[in-house]
Structure 1
Amino acid sequence: MSASDLPSLLQAVNFCVESSESSYSCSLKASLKDLPRTQVRAIALLALDYFLQQNFTGPRLSDIILSSLEAILSPPESAEECVKELSVDSEVVYQHTEQAYLLLLTLAGLSQLVDTSSDTTEDESTKRQDKRWLARALMVQQSILSAPAGTLHDEIFTNLTASAPISTTTDSQEEFEQQKNLTAEYSMELARADIFYSYDARAAKALENAKSMSGLKVKVTGMKALRTKFQTRQHVGLVVLAKSRSVSVSDPPTTSATIEADIKEATAVPVSLPLNSDLLLEAPRFLTGESSEKEEEQNKSIEETVEDDDLASEDPNSPSPLADIDSCILLLTEHRMRVSLPSQDPIVTEQLQAYISRVISASGPAGSVNWTLYSRALWERSILESHSAKTVERGTLQLASLVDELGVASAATSFAHGQSETASSAPAHERLRFIHFLPLMPRWKMDLELAEKYISLGMVRSAQEIYARLRLPIESALCTAAGNESKAEAIKMLEDYIASGDHVDTARAWSCLGDITGKTEYWEKAWEVGRYASAKRSLGEYCFKNGKASESIIHLRDALAKNSLNRNAWFLYGCAGLETERFDVAAEGFTRCVSMDRDDSKAWANLATAFLHMGEQQRAQNIKDGVRDDESSNKREKEAMTALLEACRLNPDDWRLWSNLVIVAARLENWQACLRGSVRMAELRAPKEGEDALDVPVLHALAQILVSDALSDGHRMGEPEKRLTAFETHAIKLFTDTVPKLVTRTPELWSIVAKVEIWRKKPWAALDAYEKMLRLALTVFEADETDAAKWKQAVDTCEMLVDGYVNLGELPGRLGEGQLVCTDWKYRARSTVRSVMGKGRRMWADGAEWERLEKMREDLK
């Protein structure tokens, strides 16, 4: 279908918009109500393509088509009315969005198809496809909002889930391949939505499924390369080896009823600017099979082994062509990593560059490189390069070039960049082909990202020019406030904008005034004018920082009721709950945080804290009420331990998390988790704090569980060396290897070691532990002979050692039959008692402990 088909179709069905309806959307729904479903579907998909072409991909629609559409659809005279109808959860749409009524028409048509699908006899495949198109349209709406909206989030995932392709058994290879392609496309769309809403784990799983279905083989590996013009020695760098299922480009997905173009039609692509560096090569030159035998031998110890024969034959300097759908998967993978991994990590940056380089270097056979995929790869490369001093020039210029080639936000701003010849060289169907599988980026957002780059480089004036061209006075004011200029000028700009009339983003202007001045009355005005959620979030943060946590909870609750998808607001809400000891509020906030991002270790740790306090409060209330039911408090402690386990998994180097885990696990008698936490605490704290890394009461409990065979695999003490469980293995290592290396001040720890050695049937090791225990006890006593507790400890350890000599001395020794543990055990026992009496005679020649020593001496005669 041609670009003029939408006006023709609307005229053919006598489409008429009644102006008497309460809103323009209602008028559109009323006009579509009596049309056949096939015509409603065609109108909705054509309108979506027109909207995307006008605001995302270009080329711009002709004036003839636009005038025809306006005559038929009769949009409101003020474009802001449509913009307001597209706003959701107080998140506003860019007020200069072009032909916003087309997106309203799409949403009205697709919503009608989905809502009435149960009343039709259409096949299930068509019904699922309608839901998928509705999810796509909602993603487009989400992309033009200022922030994620909870309402759209729920609708998008509901429709995506309902539109999942159903696998059917077929003997036809062609149908089987078609099913795999459909599943790959669905997985890509699901991954795109997951990435946008920060569901990283789910996005990674969806991308893996897409790779499996498309047949893409990909591996990130290390390989030596030359990166500079004067480099004589290769250094290892990351490279992405990838290969499509077949050399020929696979049939692309159909994005709408308008696309019926030949896949292999040759089209121009955006210009890739040269690096023009005096130092760096245009692209790394990787070491290949032509290297010397010595170099190849060195590589074997550095490079990862590529097991797949196809990937092993890949030459990174001249990679094989990729199918467009596989290039799309690589771009989505790179985007997921860029938004989820640390931005300043050099390894992450190098890995991202490797993915982008693979797409740019071989997007497909000559003449079949998709325009949208290639331009997005250039854009992603430019974002990465603009952060490096060596490539910032090419990166920034490439960003500006892509903004020019993709067009500008509106006709009113076209003088800013001008329309380059290549911008219109790629037809609309080529630009729209993969638009629903890549992260959506309206053209004005590209301009805004370029402006942010200018600001980061100190080019504030250039950024202000972009804001002025886009007619964004609020951004221009914020830019002015961020620069070296006076904040007074930015405040005046915002005040003048507010005074100029009622705008769709007036509430945001009031909120930004509050952000600049820090005055709460401006945020309150923003909430009063437009229920602007960001203003309430700012108020909540302001109150929290100024010690008014209770007021912060009220403001944040209002903001979250308006838009529940702001994770930072939920986190602050939870912190305010902890601060005010409203632990139910804290639990709610941190629960929502971890539901949005399961990799937030701080939220998991704080959630555990909230659950622990809730359990303590419940226990105290039960005592007060005279109720002996600890089930609810134990439930909270179990939830706390689950949260702590997640926090420890995500942040395994924070010993405080492990300490809390040990305490909770010991209280719940979860000895597996308690042992794991104790071992990890010793690993983390012992190098600096030594013995302080050990919790003596917990070690006592663990040792008792070990020697009692409570967690054994059914064997008794007679065979402790056989069939050891994981708990026993790690506990034995803790008590016989880790603890002995750390004991410096607490003799009691040696008694724990001795108990474990006796259980292991190693009496010689147990006796050695008792002797070390006494030496340490005497050392502690000699440091302060006036301390009665230390004298008592010395006598206790002496008694334990004497009992050890008596009970263990005549047992078989380390070498077995014919050798005893201690042949002169009686002599050593008497000598031990005399030694202790000699050290305590001056201060403690009388008392209960001295009598014990005398009794021991008499018993050994």
Structure 2
Amino acid sequence: MGLDLLPVEKALLRGKWTVETDNTGPVTVLAKAVIEGRFRDALTSPDARALFHVQSPSLDLPFDQAFQLNSAEQGEDAELVRLTVAVACLHAFVQVNWTGPDLDVQPLEVISFGPGESTTPLTEELLNQNAVSELAQGGEPAYHLTQAAAFLRLAEILLALPYDHCHSSSWWRLRSTLIHQQILDEPVPQPPTLLSSLEPLTALCSNEPDLAGRLILERGLLDHQISHDKSAAELFVQAAKATGLVYELTGALGKRTKFQQNELSQLVLLAESRLPDGDAVVSSNTDGAATATTPADSEPTPSNIPETLALNDDTLLEQTEFTSSSPASAGSLLAHINPSSQPPLHPLDQCILLSMCLNVKNTSPSHGLTNEQMAPYIARVISHPRNWSVHTMALLLRSRLESSRTRTVERSTLQLQALIDQMPTADSTLSERLLYFHSFPLPSKWELERELALRFLGLGVVRSALEIFERLEMWEEVVKCWGSLDRPEKAIEIVRDLLAGRKAEAEEVVSRAKAPTGERQRQIHDTAREAKLWCLLGDLEPQNAVEHYEKAWEVSKEKSGRAMRSLGGYHFARGAFGDAIACLKRAVAINPLLARSWFILGCACMREEQWEDAKNAFARCVAIDEDDAESWNNLASMYLRIGKQDRKAIADNDDDEEDANESKASDADATIKSIPFEHKLLAFRALKQGLRFSYENWRMWSNYMVVAMDVGEIAESARALGRVVEETSAKAGASSVDLEVLDRLVNAVTRAPADPEEAAAAAAAASAAGDATPYPNPNEGHGLLRNVRGLFERTLLPRVTSPRVFGAYGRLLTWQGEWAAALGAYLDGYRCGVAGTMERGETDVARWREAVEEVEDIVDVLRNFGPRVDGEEKAGGKWRLQGRSIVRTFMGRTKEFEDEPEWARLVELSEELTKKDED
């Protein structure tokens, strides 16, 4: 057959039986049972049990070796059976740990054993512990109370087999990966082959918008899990384009409170599903007849949806009441939609909007605008419930948003509790709960309860939070709770009891631990989890931390990334940077997705002057977290260090990890000439990127100013100088201005011809000679003038008074031929200089001699500029009188220095200015 997705595969992907066939063969019956959520029928069928046959009844071997599936039968039907059974295992695991209700089949009921006797009876608990241990990945343990973990492990083994006919197997590998990541302590990297194997599916689904949208959306969710927010945002937008979703965040007049009198513009999300009519899906009714429905109407509003709790506030309305029937942007494609009465959205489009809402949270700063941006997305989905799971996710997101507001925190907590309580109920069918499960990141049952406990902890209800954490056996959070209760010794006791086997972790284990098999329980203790406990003990006992961390590393057979991260952080805090580097390199080799580990490694390498390694570490930081401004700044510093002839430090004030990003611009300027230009350019780009996320960091702006000047980006250097002055002038005053940079800025303007026509002619001549620089050049002459003059007039002069600043401004005005203004700038500089601020009675001779030179300089300025401004608004003809007044006033305030040799120069100058003008 040609390259295509089989109809049964499409039905499995959609989660709905869309196959119009009279075929009642085993594969069809099996697939239909899986789609309808009858996992017991599917997994206990002869086809499934034939796959899960093992020779040893004790299952001592790893799962992938015990079942020997590599020799499985080939062919289209055999592959489809394996794929269908894998989907059944995966969804059974999802049912018991995510969606509910309770599962009616256990892994041991699925596995068939060969003849023989086992020395150790195989129980569901032992099978689950083996599976949990094997699900540890990348040094990160899987959550040890995961139920029916064997189903996920079996699904992964089946999906790892080669498939020549069932091309959707790679899609299901992606789905199993998304689920697997959620049971690990930290996300771990996935092989690049996972995404590359999905490329053929993109072409196969191009003519089916719903499948194309699902595939792109799920790829975005994987990027969301590993914090690749930028690529995730792009994929979410692509998914909306694939399904035809049209949306727009805009404003409309409305009210948010019950007593609001004036209508104000309220943020609203307009959205409309536009799936083509040709994408109708075919489903079978109870009589077996095929019926066609369009995707927009294929999901009727469910009769049983999660309870949406009312706000019941005396001020806030239940939802925004829009009083305008049209949005603010009347020219948009959605101008015909009434904000208060929008059409229902297809559930898949609702999933896309919820995913975009997640990305708004990830790519926005931590302030109120985040909630304001997210709320319209959630409100748009909540307004029209179409699916149980999608509505659950929308309510959960709303609960998170409302947890930070006093008027909504009560509903937030109660809504979260209601969502947890609904999981084991049968208020909706399992097939409905699973229909769109893979299209949004619904948390697992234990994550929901953990979130509720954290909510209690934030409200100060520590005991209630402690009870939940102990029941979930989340010992790190238990330790934090005991710390909040000022009982750290209790936390240490709990961890030591767990490690010694004196405290069992689950109620069924407690009852079994009294039996002789209790020691067997300790022997198969998950090594990854045991290593985590040793790390936790190291955190609690700093005096023995190294011993405990090394024990964790040994117990895990050198696979615990947590152990090396903790040990590396311990050495870094105590200044043992060489040891910290060795440990952190091991940690990032195990799990390279944690930006914090890379950052500390980079700081340690900086201390050891391992510039290349530090550069690589900070580069990985910004690749993982693009918003990390400190890492961008440190990366720029590393570019400026690499390739220098000397090793002079750029940043001398990095006494701790938080200050490692502070570089001194003066040191950088002193050594920057020895750095290759390409490194300077890379540093410039890194700083420019980092400043997007740390706009108020004046130290970064200072570094950016120096580097921009050195790479020829003079306009950017002017902007950076302005930002430094804006942020620091209130405390630093005139010292906030880098006078050397300011002089270079003025020089860059004034070295070009003052006449615009002459400058244009010079630029044309240069262009004819092969110089492609545009005119006006934004970094020189008239192209730079606007920025530099604006820097003086809007930023520098209103904030600082410095003779050199006024002098630089006077030079700029002189170049422009504004003689009166230039003279005024020089006079302002004189008034705030040494001569202009000297008082009677001063005795500092050196300071007085400096002032004498300033008096002579300002008289020279008057002599040069006075005649030029004659006839303008300021009477230039009076320059002699003004100069004589300046000299006499200065001499009158400093009579104490009459015996100094320089006094005669002042007398001579005064006499010269007293002479009348000669005709």
User: C-alpha distance in 2, partners of 1:440/1:217?
Assistant: 24
User: C-alpha distance in 1, partners of 2:320/2:706?
Assistant: 55
Paired amino acid for 2:154: L
CA deviation string 1:8-62 (max 9, x = no partner): 3735976644559952124446445543363343443343333323332234443
- Three-state SS of the structure 1 residue aligned to 2:45 is helix
- Three-state SS of the structure 2 residue aligned to 1:94 is coil
User: C-alpha distance in 1, partners of 2:563/2:130?
Assistant: 23
CA displacement at 1:786 relative to structure 2? 4.4
Which of 107, 112, 116 is residue 161 of structure 2 equivalent to? Answer: 112
Which residue matches 1:770? 826
Q: Does the 8 Å CA contact 2:866/2:876 hold for their aligned counterparts?
A: yes
TM alignment of 1:495-644, pairs within 5 A: 495-500=496-501, 501-502=522-523, 503-504=525-526, 505-518=529-542, 519-520=544-545, 521-530=547-556, 531-614=559-642, 618=646, 632=675, 634-644=677-687
Paired amino acid for 1:69: V
Change (3 A) 1:45 1:284: closer
- Three-state SS of the structure 2 residue aligned to 1:509 is helix
CA displacement at 1:787 relative to structure 2? 4.2
Which residue matches 2:752? 709
CA displacement at 1:370 relative to structure 2? 1.3
Q: Does the 8 Å CA contact 2:69/2:158 hold for their aligned counterparts?
A: no
Asked if 1:270 is matched to 2:270, the reply is no
Paired amino acid for 1:395: S
Which residue matches 1:322? 345
Change (3 A) 1:783 1:839: closer
Paired amino acid for 1:135: L
Which sits farther off after the overlay, 50-59 or 232-241?
Answer: 232-241
Which sits farther off after the overlay, 799-808 or 702-711?
Answer: 799-808
Asked if 1:398 is matched to 2:415, the reply is yes
- Three-state SS of the structure 1 residue aligned to 2:318 is strand
CA displacement at 1:192 relative to structure 2? 1.4
Which residue matches 1:727? 784
Q: Does the 8 Å CA contact 1:713/1:724 hold for their aligned counterparts?
A: no
Which residue matches 1:195? 224
Which of 802, 807, 823 is residue 877 of structure 2 equivalent to? Answer: 823
CA displacement at 1:219 relative to structure 2? 3.6
- Three-state SS of the structure 2 residue aligned to 1:569 is helix
TM-score (norm 2): 0.75
Asked if 1:355 is matched to 2:398, the reply is no
Identity %: 28
Which of 124, 127, 135 is residue 174 of structure 2 equivalent to? Answer: 135
CA displacement at 1:217 relative to structure 2? 3.4
Which residue matches 1:204? 233
Which residue matches 2:435? 433
User: C-alpha distance in 1, partners of 2:794/2:704?
Assistant: 22
Which residue matches 2:359? 336
Change (3 A) 1:539 1:768: same
User: C-alpha distance in 2, partners of 1:227/1:754?
Assistant: 55
User: C-alpha distance in 2, partners of 1:250/1:475?
Assistant: 53
Asked if 1:493 is matched to 2:494, the reply is yes
User: C-alpha distance in 2, partners of 1:630/1:379?
Assistant: 56
Paired amino acid for 1:767: L
Q: Does the 8 Å CA contact 2:245/2:275 hold for their aligned counterparts?
A: no
Change (3 A) 1:179 1:12: same
CA deviation string 1:624-683 (max 9, x = no partner): xxxx99665555444333322222222222222212222333444542332121122233
User: C-alpha distance in 2, partners of 1:523/1:147?
Assistant: 18
- Three-state SS of the structure 1 residue aligned to 2:353 is helix
Paired amino acid for 2:128: A
CA deviation string 1:161-189 (max 9, x = no partner): x457249xxxxxxx97x455444333322
User: C-alpha distance in 1, partners of 2:760/2:868?
Assistant: 16
Change (3 A) 1:620 1:477: closer
- Three-state SS of the structure 2 residue aligned to 1:493 is helix
User: C-alpha distance in 1, partners of 2:730/2:281?
Assistant: 58
Asked if 1:99 is matched to 2:156, the reply is no
Which sits farther off after the overlay, 682-691 or 506-515?
Answer: 682-691
CA deviation string 1:763-786 (max 9, x = no partner): 222222233333444213447854
Q: Does the 8 Å CA contact 1:91/1:145 hold for their aligned counterparts?
A: yes
Which residue matches 2:705? 662
Which residue matches 1:449? 451
Asked if 1:675 is matched to 2:718, the reply is yes
Change (3 A) 1:196 1:765: same
User: C-alpha distance in 2, partners of 1:10/1:680?
Assistant: 70
Which residue matches 2:15? none
User: C-alpha distance in 2, partners of 1:110/1:825?
Assistant: 92
User: C-alpha distance in 2, partners of 1:82/1:550?
Assistant: 38
Which of 242, 259, 266 is residue 270 of structure 2 equivalent to? Answer: 242
CA deviation string 1:218-250 (max 9, x = no partner): 344455655566x35367584433221349999
- Three-state SS of the structure 1 residue aligned to 2:621 is helix
Q: Does the 8 Å CA contact 1:608/1:639 hold for their aligned counterparts?
A: yes
User: C-alpha distance in 2, partners of 1:634/1:476?
Assistant: 50
Paired amino acid for 2:787: H
CA displacement at 1:552 relative to structure 2? 3.2
- Three-state SS of the structure 1 residue aligned to 2:692 is helix
CA deviation string 1:395-419 (max 9, x = no partner): 3333233223223xxxxxxxxxxxx
CA deviation string 1:585-617 (max 9, x = no partner): 543332221111111112222333444455657
CA displacement at 1:538 relative to structure 2? 2.6
Paired amino acid for 1:270: I
Change (3 A) 1:484 1:75: closer
Paired amino acid for 2:553: W
Paired amino acid for 1:727: L
Paired amino acid for 1:131: S
User: C-alpha distance in 2, partners of 1:266/1:668?
Assistant: 61
CA deviation string 1:655-712 (max 9, x = no partner): 2221222233344454233212112223333455442332212111111111002999
Which residue matches 1:295? none
User: C-alpha distance in 2, partners of 1:45/1:526?
Assistant: 36
Q: Does the 8 Å CA contact 1:274/1:282 hold for their aligned counterparts?
A: no
Asked if 1:375 is matched to 2:392, the reply is yes
Q: Does the 8 Å CA contact 2:49/2:112 hold for their aligned counterparts?
A: no
CA displacement at 1:362 relative to structure 2? 1.6
Paired amino acid for 2:110: L
- Structure 1: stretches of 5+ with no match in the other structure: 115-119, 168-174, 255-259, 291-299, 364-368, 408-419, 622-627
Q: Does the 8 Å CA contact 1:253/1:433 hold for their aligned counterparts?
A: no
Which residue matches 2:3? none
Which residue matches 1:149? 188
User: C-alpha distance in 2, partners of 1:753/1:463?
Assistant: 64
Q: Does the 8 Å CA contact 2:891/2:906 hold for their aligned counterparts?
A: no
- Three-state SS of the structure 1 residue aligned to 2:139 is coil
User: C-alpha distance in 2, partners of 1:166/1:710?
Assistant: 60
- Three-state SS of the structure 2 residue aligned to 1:556 is helix
Asked if 1:47 is matched to 2:89, the reply is yes
Q: Does the 8 Å CA contact 2:618/2:632 hold for their aligned counterparts?
A: yes
Paired amino acid for 1:93: A
User: C-alpha distance in 2, partners of 1:853/1:157?
Assistant: 86
Which of 293, 308, 312 is residue 332 of structure 2 equivalent to? Answer: 308
User: C-alpha distance in 2, partners of 1:442/1:249?
Assistant: 36
CA displacement at 1:724 relative to structure 2? 7.9
TM alignment of 1:830-849, pairs within 5 A: 843=897, 847=901
Paired amino acid for 2:786: T
CA displacement at 1:94 relative to structure 2? 1.9
User: C-alpha distance in 1, partners of 2:45/2:756?
Assistant: 78
User: C-alpha distance in 2, partners of 1:644/1:590?
Assistant: 13
Q: How many residues align?
A: 789
Paired amino acid for 1:716: A
CA displacement at 1:153 relative to structure 2? 6.8
User: C-alpha distance in 2, partners of 1:784/1:559?
Assistant: 68
